[in-house]
């Protein structure tokens, strides 16, 4: 799946859990590799090479919490600065400024900072009392 996107530049435009199937090999099979099967092949898009490269850089920058890289690659893809700031939250549950590594817990103050970041971007709706 990653090779399809990052190496070849093809995006499956409907990759929700209902269109992903995990196939485990039967007991005693000659291979022990689990396979990911993509279903519903009705809509794909091929990324232009420059966009594929910027997308690869963006994901790398998000994983490394590299704010400058996130901004640079977002700009290359026409993504505005506000969206670039909050984009890592969708995929890593942290901003580029959060120093906790991926998979590590974040503090209550870091959670509050993320909430404020979402509020400034107009993406946080306060629950009704």
Q: What is the pLDDT of residue 113?
A: 84
The C-alpha R_g of the chain, in whole angstroms, comes to: 18
Q: Please check the confidence at residue 77 and state whether its pLDDT lies above 90.
A: yes
Name which residue leads in pLDDT, 98 or 79: 79
Q: Measure the CA–CA gap between 87 and 70, rounded to whole angstroms.
A: 9
| Paired residues of 20 in beta bridges | 38
Q: Does the annotation mark 14 as catalytic?
A: yes
Q: What span, in angstroms and rounded, lies between the C-alpha atoms of 85 and 77?
A: 14
Closest Cα partner for 8 from 69, 73, 62, 55? 55
59 Cβ contact list (under 8 Å, min separation 6): 6, 91
Q: Which of 14, 40, 66, 80 is the catalytic position?
A: 14
Average pLDDT over residues 67-78: 95
How far is the C-alpha of 60 from the C-alpha of 66, rounded, in Å? 8
Average pLDDT taken over every residue of the chain: 87
Task: Summarize pLDDT for 107-121 with one digit per residue, the tens.
Answer: 888 888 888 888 888
- Inform me whether the pLDDT recorded for 66 exceeds 70: yes
pLDDT: is 51 or 117 the higher one? 51
Q: Is the pLDDT of residue 129 over 70?
A: no
> Distance between CA atoms of 94 and 127, rounded to whole angstroms?
21
């Amino acid at each position: 799946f990653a090779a399809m996107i990052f190496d070849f530049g093809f995006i499956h435009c409907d990759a929700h859990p209902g269109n992903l199937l995990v196939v485990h090999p039967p007991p005693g099979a000659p291979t022990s590799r689990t396979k990911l099967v993509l279903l519903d092949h009705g809509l794909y898009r091929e990324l232009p090479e420059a966009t594929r490269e910027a997308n690869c850089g963006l994901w790398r920058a998000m994983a490394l919490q590299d704010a400058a890289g996130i901004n640079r690659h977002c700009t290359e893809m026409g993504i505005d600065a506000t969206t670039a700031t909050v984009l890592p939250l969708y995929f890593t549950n942290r901003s580029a400024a959060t120093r906790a590594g991926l998979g590590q817990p974040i503090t209550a103050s870091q959670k509050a900072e993320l909430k404020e970041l979402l509020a400034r971007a107009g993406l946080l709706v306060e629950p009704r009392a």
